[in-house]
Amino acid sequence: MSELELFYADAPADIALADVDLSRLPRHISMIMDGNGRWATSRGLDRSKGHVAGIDALRDAITASVRLGIDVLSAYAFSTENWKRSKVEVDLLMKLFAKTLVAELPLFYQENVRLEILGDLSDLPKKTRETFEYGISETSGHTGMVLALAVNYGSRREIVRATRELAGLVAQGELDIEAIDEESISSHLYTADLPDPDLLIRTSGELRLSNYLLWQIAYSEIYVSQLLWPDFDRWELLRAIRAYQARDRRFGGVKA
């Protein structure tokens, strides 16, 4: 039995590894991890416990994606709007980010995962920012799956940032305004070196994009899971992939 088969042993009744075509996997899977607070509240726990449980779910998703051979896994960790939450919760999240990244680096080494950050780290507390920068540096030579964490990320802000950069090039005479096209805009986004997501997964049953990768997911297939994020596991990932493989991806055209 292969390592992948062992990882996906003891399948539940409704899904198994055999239900997905390993030759047609999405290249880039992106996830909006939603429901940590509700998961904790429903159990009579402090919201912080939900964020801790959410880390376990992300770890499982990372390991599963590596085993399956996914090229890129991206995840929405902290939005530009999340600063509106209570200072206590924001401070806890910032400390948790730093603590978790240090704790998970051995996994990144073991699985050859390269870390990227989508978003503006300059607003983060010094220790959290430096920890992320350390993780990026430590894994920069890794050649396996890319884990792209969206931290202090907002898609509208990202597009404004790209527009300003292009406008600056035009003003300096380094770029003709007629040369601005979809490719040039994409090249100035945080995801410039990544393929667009093939599959976008949102947990907790919410039907909104929450200002996440609005440019990049123009033709992504969307899978909405009713599970709260801490309950998301390798089996739900398989269900999402199975649903993705059942879609007819025409990208605005029609099949011959």
What are the catalytic residues? 34, 82
- What is the C-alpha separation between 107 and 93, in angstroms, rounded? 21
Provide the pairing of β-strand 114-118 with 146-153. parallel
CA-CA distance, 202 to 195, in Å (whole number)? 19
C-alpha distances (whole Å) from 96 to each of 34, 53, 184 are 17, 11, 36
Closest CA to 234 of 26, 93, 3, 64: 64
Backbone angles phi, psi at 51, to 5 degrees: -65, -40
Q: For residue 93, what are the CA distances in angstroms to 191, 210, 230?
A: 24, 19, 15
Reading the block at residue 117, the tokens are: 């950050």
Nearest to 68, CA basis, from 26, 30, 31: 26
Which residues have C-beta within 8 Å of that of residue 255, sequence separation ≥ 6? 248
First to last CA, the chain: 40
Cα distances (angstroms) measured from residue 15 to each of 12, 69, 118: 6, 19, 32
